[in-house]
Amino acid sequence: MSGPARDAGAPLPVQQRGRPRSAAVDTAVIETVLRLLEGGVTVGELSMERIAREAGVGKATVYRRWAGKEALMLDVLRSLEEDAPELPGVSVRDDLIALLEFLRRRGLAKRSSAVMRTVVGQVQAQPRVWREYHETVVAARRESFRAVLRRGAAAGEIRPDVDVDLLIDLFVSPMLVRAVLHEWKELPAGLAEGIVDTVLDGVRP
């Protein structure tokens, strides 16, 4: 990637916008990157110039939207995300199940999607992009869990002395172990309910 070196710990730059962006151009560029990655091109082999050429747009058009390849790859990764589930907010148990079911479906989608496996695998080798993804997308997911669990503690459904972040890990880890580390294990319907009920049994007042 061309341009001056940046602090490896700094967040990816926010692109300044002038006139409104064209959603069609954004989509064309992101789909071009997905197509190239699916075809075997590595992130290291991609350049902004090649992406622009393959997408049929000018290099300046791409740079107006993304400050560099890392920022573009972050948007490519985000493009594979589904919208978070709408939580009814009535039952803590039901909200937790909805959040875990979202992770279960995402795990199934990754197993069935060669594009998703390729993109995630390649972006994991880009430390800044992967860290920024966790600090935005993954952090937002954890905040959803945190809000539900705090509501449960306030309502007396969960012991108030339990560390919320530890509790999030207790809910999420069994799903992630099956979805990410043990991809040969099934992700059956009802898994989210089983995890939630097992953990809640241990943390009720």
Is residue 27 domain-resident? yes
Of residues 179 and 77, more confidently modeled? 77
Residues 57 and 124 in one domain: no
Is residue 62 domain-resident? yes
Residues 34 and 118 in one domain: no
Which residue shows structure tokens 């799903």? 175
Tell me which residue range forms the domain holding 197: 92-203
Residues 47 and 117 in one domain: no
Residues 171 and 99 in one domain: yes
Q: Name the helix (H) or strand (E) containing 168.
A: helix 164-176
Residues 119 and 160 in one domain: yes
Residues 168-197 pLDDT 10s: 999 999 998 988 777 778 899 999 999 999
Single residue among 53, 79, 105 that ends a domain in this structure: 79
Look at residue 44 and give its three-state secondary structure.
coil
Q: What is the CATH number of the domain that holds 121?
A: 1.10.357.10
**What does the radius of gyration of the chain's CA atoms come to, in whole angstroms?**
20
Return d(Cα 129, Cα 74) in angstroms, integer: 6
Two tokens, residue 110: 């990754």
pLDDT at 2 over 80: no
pLDDT band at 5; cut points 50, 70, 90: very low
Residues 97 and 72 in one domain: no
Q: pTM higher than 0.75, yes or no?
A: yes
Residues 98 and 172 in one domain: yes
Contact 63, 48 (CB under 8 A): yes
Residues 34 and 97 in one domain: no
Q: How far apart are the first and last CA of the chain?
A: 54
Residues 189 and 108 in one domain: yes
Residues 97-118 pLDDT 10s: 999 999 999 889 888 788 888 8
CA 31-32-34 angle, 5° bins:
60
Q: How many domains does the chain have?
A: 2
